[in-house]
Chains A and B, each alone.
Chain A
Amino acid sequence: MTEPAISIAGLHKHYGDLHAVDGIDLEIPRGEVFALLGPNGAGKSTTVEILEGFRKRTAGDVTVLGSDPQHAPRHWRTRVGVMLQGTSEHGALTAAESLRYAASLYPDPRDVDETLAAVGLTEKAGAKPATLSGGQRRRLDVALAVIGRPELVFLDEPTTGFDPEARRQFWTLIDSLRGDGSTILLTTHYLDEADHLADRIGIIAAGRMVALDTPAGLRSRASAARVTWTEGGAKRVEETATPTALLRDLLARHDGEIPGLEVVHPSLEDVYLQLIDHAASAAPETEEASA
Chain B
Amino acid sequence: MTATTASSAPTWTSMTRSRLVVELREFLRSREQMVFIFFFPMMLLVLFGSVFGGQEIAPGVTFAAYFLPGMVASGILNTGFQSLAMSIAIDRDEDVLKRIHGTPLPPTAFFAAKVAQVLIVSVVQVAALVAIGVVMYDATLPSGSGWWTFTWVFLLGTAASTTLGIAMSSLLRNAKAGSAIITPIVLFLQFTSGVFLVYTQIPTFLQHVAAIFPLKWLAQGMRSVFLPESFESAEVNGSWQHPATAIVLTIWVIVGLVLAVRTFRWTRHDDN
CA separation between A52 and B103, bound complex, in Å? Answer: 11
Is B179 in the interface zone, CB < 8 Å from A? no
Q: Decide if B103 touches A107 in the complex (CB within 8 Å).
A: no
CA separation between A84 and B105, bound complex, in Å? Answer: 17
A82 to chain B, nearest CB (A): 4
Is B35 in the interface zone, CB < 8 Å from A? no
Q: Which B221-272 residues have a C-beta within 8 angstroms of A?
A: 266-267, 271-272
13 intermolecular pairs with C-beta atoms under 8 Å apart: A54-B101, A82-B99, A84-B95, A88-B96, A101-B19, A104-B14, A104-B18, A105-B10, A106-B104, A107-B1, A107-B8, A108-B5, A148-B103
Residue ranges of B at the interface with A (Cβ–Cβ < 8 Å): 1, 5-6, 8-10, 14-15, 18-19, 21-22, 25-26, 29-30, 90, 94-96, 98-99, 101-106, 266-267, 271-272
Given A52-B102, A56-B272, A84-B98: A104 and B90 interface contact (C-beta under 8 Å): no
A77 to chain B, nearest CB (A): 4
Q: How many A-B residue pairs have CB under 8 A?
A: 69
CA separation between A78 and B9, bound complex, in Å? Answer: 11
Is A65 in the interface zone, CB < 8 Å from B? no
Is A91 in the interface zone, CB < 8 Å from B? yes
11 more A-B residue pairs beyond the given contacts A75-B104, A97-B22, with a C-beta to C-beta distance below 8 A = A52-B102, A54-B271, A55-B272, A74-B106, A77-B103, A78-B104, A84-B99, A84-B102, A88-B95, A91-B26, A92-B30
Within the complex, which residue of A54, A91, A97, A107 is in contact with B9, where a contact is CB–CB below 8 Å? A107
CA separation between A148 and B102, bound complex, in Å? Answer: 12
B3 to chain A, nearest CB (A): 12
Given A55-B272, A56-B272: A101 and B18 interface contact (C-beta under 8 Å): yes
- Residues of B contacting A105 with CB < 8 Å? 10, 15, 18, 103-105
CA separation between A56 and B271, bound complex, in Å? Answer: 11
Q: Decide if B25 touches A86 in the complex (CB within 8 Å).
A: no
B201 to chain A, nearest CB (A): 42
Given A84-B95, A84-B102, A107-B1: A54 and B267 interface contact (C-beta under 8 Å): yes
- Residues of B contacting A144 with CB < 8 Å? 99
Number of interface residues of A (CB under 8 A): 27
Q: Decide if B104 touches A88 in the complex (CB within 8 Å).
A: no
Closest to B267 in A: A54
**Which of B10, B15, B96, B104 is packed against the most chain A CB atoms within 10 Å?**
B104
CA separation between A75 and B272, bound complex, in Å? Answer: 23
Q: Decide if B1 touches A106 in the complex (CB within 8 Å).
A: no
Q: Which A128-173 residues have a C-beta within 8 angstroms of B?
A: 144, 148
Q: Decide if A148 touches B104 in the complex (CB within 8 Å).
A: yes
Q: Decide if B22 touches A101 in the complex (CB within 8 Å).
A: yes
B247 to chain A, nearest CB (A): 37
Q: Decide if B90 touches A107 in the complex (CB within 8 Å).
A: no
Is A289 in the interface zone, CB < 8 Å from B? no
- Residues of B contacting A75 with CB < 8 Å? 104
Q: Which A76-101 residues have a C-beta within 8 angstroms of B?
A: 77-78, 80, 82, 84, 86, 88, 90-93, 97, 101
A134 to chain B, nearest CB (A): 15
Q: Which 9 residue pairs of A and B lie closest in terms of their CB atoms, listed nearest first?
A: A92-B29, A82-B102, A107-B9, A104-B18, A77-B104, A92-B26, A88-B94, A78-B104, A105-B104
- Residues of A contacting B103 with CB < 8 Å? 77, 102, 105, 148
- Residues of B contacting A84 with CB < 8 Å? 95, 98-99, 102
Closest to B12 in A: A74
Q: Decide if B95 touches A86 in the complex (CB within 8 Å).
A: yes
CA separation between A55 and B272, bound complex, in Å? Answer: 6
A231 to chain B, nearest CB (A): 55
- Residues of B contacting A93 with CB < 8 Å? 22, 25-26
- Residues of A contacting B90 with CB < 8 Å? 90
A227 to chain B, nearest CB (A): 48
Within the complex, which residue of B26, B29, B98 is in contact with A54, where a contact is CB–CB below 8 Å? B98
A51 to chain B, nearest CB (A): 12
A132 to chain B, nearest CB (A): 15
Q: Decide if B29 touches A74 in the complex (CB within 8 Å).
A: no
CA separation between A52 and B99, bound complex, in Å? Answer: 11
CA separation between A74 and B98, bound complex, in Å? Answer: 14
Given A105-B104, A106-B104: A90 and B25 interface contact (C-beta under 8 Å): no
